[in-house]
Structure 1
Amino acid sequence: MRADFLLAALATGAMAAAVPTNGKPNPPKDVDTSNPFVGKSFFVNPEWTGKLTQTYNAFLKKFDFKNALRVLQVKQLSTFVWISRLSELSRIDDAIAEARRVQKRTGKKQIVGLVLYNLPDRDCSAGESAGEFSSKENGLNRYKEEFVKPYAEKLAKAKDLTFAVVLEPDSLGNLVTNLGIPLCAGAADIYREGVAHAISSLQFDHVNLYIDAAHGGWLGWNDNLPLAAKEFATVLKIASSDGKPKKIRGFATNVSNYNPFNAKVRENYTEWSTSWDESHYATSLAPHLEAEGLPAHFIVDQGRVHLPGARKEWGEWCNVAPAGFGPAPTTNVNNTVVDALVWIKPGGESDGECGYAGAPKAGAWFDEYVQLLVQNADPSVYKWF
């Protein structure tokens, strides 16, 4: 996934659908505003942790016992489960079964993180993560009937669990800044209708929806912040067009990116932005969301964080190095609008054949890079040393 940061945000005056004029969306008064992550155990995905066995063995072969033991600690941490193709819908069943097993064994309520990611004409600004549906081949209807419908049905049957679902990374961000790209301009209405349909289909009390809000280097500029909030409001209005207000919990930021939550060093390329790390981005975006009647709650992806000096500009997004696993998932954050730091992007799955030397295609396991993430991980990841 990629954002074309060089395209001017003000060019978005050509948005394919204007913000409706029938007032701002108001969340239902009976919506529970409590943080859904508090008091829950974050779901640990065995599919991802199983892949880390390769990393563990790689360190052992080097007689690097310190980092081998660190891998064992990483394997105890939570990551989100990505559902990005029809063939991956079964991952929901696997996650539900595992979460129930752990919940029964430990007696602790599980919150399962999922990503819903399969819009027609997906990843319109880059193509590294292009999806399986095309708008020219009945893609929107297939997305609704073959992907979102069974997705929702599976979650509806698991009321004994709590879910946090991130909706369509990068999609609405592209509508704020990248309508100068023909594929993005052509996909605008499809993106809006598709995300709105997903929102409408997942209106369950045990499901907490977080619309993807890109990241501070993309939408965090002063000119972009109000445009982003209006775009999100437009989609929620479409979802509520049947006269029944639809709820979301909030927004997800930094998905699959490398921005720190609290930057230890302010990079030179952030000089003119108030959103110079993801904590500042959440704080900057919050009042614009509230002005549109939207809930200002955030989860922030810290699955991978670049080391200071690793990038010369925010536009470097692919297998950035050096980088490390970011802060361990937690609700202990010093920001009142942030629900939790989470690992949405599973570290080790390549961004594409770009960035760090030898990178495989998007989604493929890149063990050399995982070893780098282990060696450079945030200290909070390791309980022992």
Structure 2
Amino acid sequence: MRRSVRAASALLTGVLAGALALLHAAPAYAADPTTMTSGFYTDPDNSALRWTAANPGDGRASAIRTSIADIPAARWFGNWSGDIAAAAGSYAGRADSADKLPILVAYNIPDRDICAGHSGGGAGSRAAYESWIAAFAGGIGSRPAVVILEPDAGNAGWIGAPAMAQQLAAAGVGGAHGFALNVSNYFTTDQSTSYGNAVNSALRSYGYTKPFVVDTSRNGNGSNGQWCNPAGRRTGTPSRRGGGAEMLLWIKVPGESDGNCGVGAGSSAGQFLPEVAYKMIYGY
């Protein structure tokens, strides 16, 4: 969930961190899984929803439920997920039964978040990761899904577009559906779209361009230059197709901490902070 020295990392033999993969097992799915469903899936066990259910009398609960908990967003999977094939399969299966498109994040690469450390961890070895990610994909199977692979906050304010394109190409973006930007960060959609287009311009020298998605969950007020629980941020455009990118997605759930820092001091990465969530709804 946090910035890392890695701009891209391998998935099995060469897909990238921050990549977007539309998983499919049959040629009929290759065109666009979003056309196979009636919209994006809302995680019925997201952290905001759990908090509102546990605190129905809290004056913030109604706003958090309406403006965050009920918005389609990603479910993150890692070594906390237990049997990963069962976990991913169950989640994709529930979405499929509801005729909705789930957004899943695979987040278990070895030495994850090695720089910032707030979300450090991951599989203990390449072999362990290869086994884990194969089981993750196998669990999803032939069901339509959007999968964000090992994001670590590639964004418009960090690495220049030519350097990012070089790293994406080296990591194997040519074998992925595309790439994801601004995950767990705050840059505006316009800034992120411009950056994505610049990355694609640089990728042309490698013989291809790629679709991209933007994490809009917390970019309503843009970035103030800080990445770890900055104050004054706001929720952004809910998950949708189009909007300047192939998709605008809520990948990081608003209100979930970036770590023990900023307005989240004393918290751990991923912990839901109701006051931060409430203020993010209104942008203060």
TM-score range, shorter chain: 0.7 to 0.9
Indicate the SS of the match to 1:324.
coil
TM-score, reference length from structure 1? 0.60
Q: Aligned to 2:135, which of 139, 145, 150?
A: 150
Give yes or no for contact 1:233–1:294 (8 Å, CA) kept in 2: no
Q: In the TM superposition, what is the alpha-carbon distance from 1:56 to its structure 2 partner?
A: 6.8
Give the structure, 1 or 2, with the largest relative contact order (CA under 8 Å, sep 6 or more).
2
Q: Deviations over 1:111-155 (max 9, x none)?
A: 221111111111111111111434xxxx1111112x112112112
Counterpart Cα distance in 1 of 2:156 and 2:28: 28
Counterpart in the other structure of 2:146 = 164
Distance 1:332 1:143, change over 3 A: closer
Counterpart Cα distance in 2 of 1:348 and 1:69: 12
Give yes or no for contact 1:114–1:165 (8 Å, CA) kept in 2: yes
Gaps of 5+ in 1: 10-29, 104-109, 171-212, 238-245, 263-276, 378-385
1:320 aligns with 2:230: yes
Give yes or no for contact 2:229–2:257 (8 Å, CA) kept in 1: yes
Indicate the SS of the match to 1:230.
helix
Distance 1:52 1:92, change over 3 A: same
Counterpart Cα distance in 1 of 2:277 and 2:196: 28
Distance 1:123 1:70, change over 3 A: closer
Q: Which amino acid aligns with 1:328?
A: P
Counterpart Cα distance in 1 of 2:130 and 2:228: 30
Q: In the TM superposition, what is the alpha-carbon distance from 1:257 to its structure 2 partner?
A: 0.6
Counterpart Cα distance in 1 of 2:177 and 2:115: 27
Deviation beyond 6 Å, 4+ runs, structure 1:
30-33
Counterpart in the other structure of 1:205 = none
Counterpart in the other structure of 2:74 = 80
1:330 aligns with 2:249: no
Distance 1:55 1:148, change over 3 A: same
Equivalent runs, 1:206-225 vs 2, <5 Å:
214-219=154-159, 224-225=160-161
Please report the RMSD computed on the Cα atoms of aligned residues, expressed in angstroms.
Answer: 2.9
Give yes or no for contact 1:287–1:296 (8 Å, CA) kept in 2: no
Counterpart Cα distance in 2 of 1:162 and 1:255: 21
Q: Aligned to 1:287, which of 201, 218, 222?
A: 201
Q: Which amino acid aligns with 1:87?
A: S
Counterpart in the other structure of 1:23 = none
Counterpart in the other structure of 2:52 = 53
Q: Which amino acid aligns with 1:258?
A: Y
Counterpart in the other structure of 1:340 = 247
Counterpart Cα distance in 2 of 1:38 and 1:56: 37
Give yes or no for contact 1:324–1:373 (8 Å, CA) kept in 2: yes
1:128 aligns with 2:118: yes
Counterpart in the other structure of 2:19 = none
Q: Aligned to 1:255, which of 183, 191, 199?
A: 183
Give yes or no for contact 2:68–2:254 (8 Å, CA) kept in 1: no
Equivalent runs, 1:103-114 vs 2, <5 Å:
103=99, 110-114=100-104
Counterpart Cα distance in 2 of 1:353 and 1:280: 31
Q: Aligned to 1:141, which of 127, 130, 152?
A: 127
Q: Aligned to 1:360, which of 267, 270, 276?
A: 267
Counterpart Cα distance in 1 of 2:104 and 2:40: 12
Counterpart in the other structure of 1:271 = none
**Bigger shift: residues 253-262 or 291-300:** 291-300
Distance 1:3 1:152, change over 3 A: closer
Q: Which amino acid aligns with 1:37?
A: T
Gaps of 5+ in 2: 8-26
Q: Across the two proteins, how many residue pairs are aligned to each other?
A: 259
Distance 1:357 1:123, change over 3 A: closer
Indicate the SS of the match to 1:300.
strand
Equivalent runs, 1:176-325 vs 2, <5 Å:
214-219=154-159, 224-236=160-172, 247-262=175-190, 277-305=191-219, 307=221, 311=224, 313=225, 316-325=226-235
1:94 aligns with 2:90: yes
Counterpart in the other structure of 1:119 = 109
Q: For the pair shown, which has the larger CA radius of gyration, 1 or 2? A: 1
Distance 1:38 1:326, change over 3 A: farther
Give yes or no for contact 1:248–1:295 (8 Å, CA) kept in 2: no
Work out the percentage of aligned pairs sharing the same amino acid: 26
Give yes or no for contact 1:82–1:116 (8 Å, CA) kept in 2: yes
Counterpart Cα distance in 2 of 1:56 and 1:322: 24
